[in-house]
Amino acid sequence: MEVLIFNKDVNASRYAAKMFAKLIRKKPAAVLGLATGSTPCLLYAELRQQHEEEGLDFSRITSFNLDEYVGLDGDHPQSYRYFMQQALFDHINVHPGKVHLPDGKSDDIPANCVDYEKNISAAGGIDLQVLGLGSDGHIGFNEPSSSLASRTRIKTLTRETREDNARFFDSADEVPQHCITMGIGTIMEARQIVLLAFGERKATAVKQVVEGPISAMWPATILQMHPSVVVLLDDAAAASLDQKDYYREVADNKPDWQRI
Ligand code: F6R
């Protein structure tokens, strides 16, 4: 696990955008794993800018989002489909048929989840997956106690997550109780993962993910078992890490060929 600590979230997001741009230039038909929430907003702003100003070409990419609320239509302003359209898809030259989110209004959720997994495999698997981090340690919406081998399925959100996400709704009670999320086993099959975490609200979860024991009670700790994970933090999210100085030393002394 590579841990990079930045003075500002915008700089961490620029680094993540460079990772995506490098991949897309090298592999124009790359398969991207995308996330929603506040954390990736600056990353998506940066990708929009790279598209507009540098012609970063998304025309051949395929994407799969991590999750969607159950019961919300794609045109509901709080649905993750709507979020992705506003934050990214409406502003880049992505092929509408190649962007995928779980269907929160499906009549047959288990079948929709099986199809989602099949579609990821048929696309060749995810090349680069971006993750945010829940304050309770979730990735996707794999809440504490989720199986570390889980696949795409329905989950019940914790009260903590519904309260965290209440800022997008009128109240925590309006936040849907259920979601469809890629499983932890699904996420772990991505070839490369970049986890972003910003702000002091994430510091405890970051400490667990980077330096704690692997446990289903902090689902993101499973990332310690992935061979290619980059964790991008701002100072506030990194505040509780014991080995901060070492992570900085590693970053400062990276050989040129390892830099992006
Ligand atoms: C969203 C997702 C979630 C969020 C997490 C952090 O697609 O998968 O795991 O990344 O809840 O949310 P924010 O970024 O709003 O703090």
- The DSSP result for 7-61, as a single string, is SSHHHHHHHHHHHHHHHHHH-TT-EEEE--SSTTHHHHHHHHHHHHHH----TT-
**Among positive and negative, which fits the CA dihedral 61, 196, 194, 37?**
negative
- Residue 57's pLDDT is 98
Distance from residue 183's CA to the centre of ligand 1 (Å): 14
CA-CA distances (angstroms) from residue 49 to 24, 122, 146?
15, 30, 37
Coil, helix or strand at residue 217:
coil
Catalytic annotation, pick one of 67, 103, 117, 164 = 67
Return the ligand 1 atom nearest residue 65 CA. Answer: 7
Pocket around ligand 1 at a 6 A CB cut-off:
35-39, 66-67, 132-134, 138-141
* Rounded CA separation 134/136 (Å): 5
Q: Considering only CA atoms, which residue is closest to atom 8 of ligand 1?
A: 140
Q: For 244, phi and psi rounded to 5 degrees?
A: -50, -45
Distance from residue 160's CA to the centre of ligand 1 (Å): 12
- Residue 68's pLDDT is 98
* Rounded CA separation 170/173 (Å): 8
* Rounded CA separation 70/251 (Å): 41
E strand or H helix at 82, and its extent? helix 80-87
Residue to mutate (ligand 1; options 42, 138, 161; most atoms within 8 A of CB) = 138
- pLDDT, block means (10 residues), the chain with 260 residues: 97 98 98 98 98 98 98 94 98 98 96 98 98 96 97 96 92 94 98 98 98 98 98 98 97 92
CA-CA distances (angstroms) from residue 38 to 16, 20, 28?
15, 18, 27
Coil, helix or strand at residue 153:
strand
What's the pTM? 0.97
Catalytic annotation, pick one of 46, 136, 164, 234 = 136
67: annotated active-site residue = yes
CATH of region 2-232, choose from 3.90.79.10, 1.10.1370.30, 1.10.10.10, 3.40.50.1360:
3.40.50.1360
Distance from residue 134's CA to the centre of ligand 1 (Å): 6
For 121, counting Cβ atoms within 10 Å of its Cβ (0-12 exposed, 13-18 middle, 19+ buried), the class is exposed
- Residue 104's pLDDT is 94
Distance from residue 135's CA to the centre of ligand 1 (Å): 9
Catalytic annotation, pick one of 117, 127, 138, 164 = 138
103: annotated active-site residue = no
Return the ligand 1 atom nearest residue 201 CA. Answer: 16
| Chain centre to alpha carbon of residue 180 | 14
143: annotated active-site residue = yes
- Residue 123's pLDDT is 98
The domains of the chain are located at 2-232
136: annotated active-site residue = yes
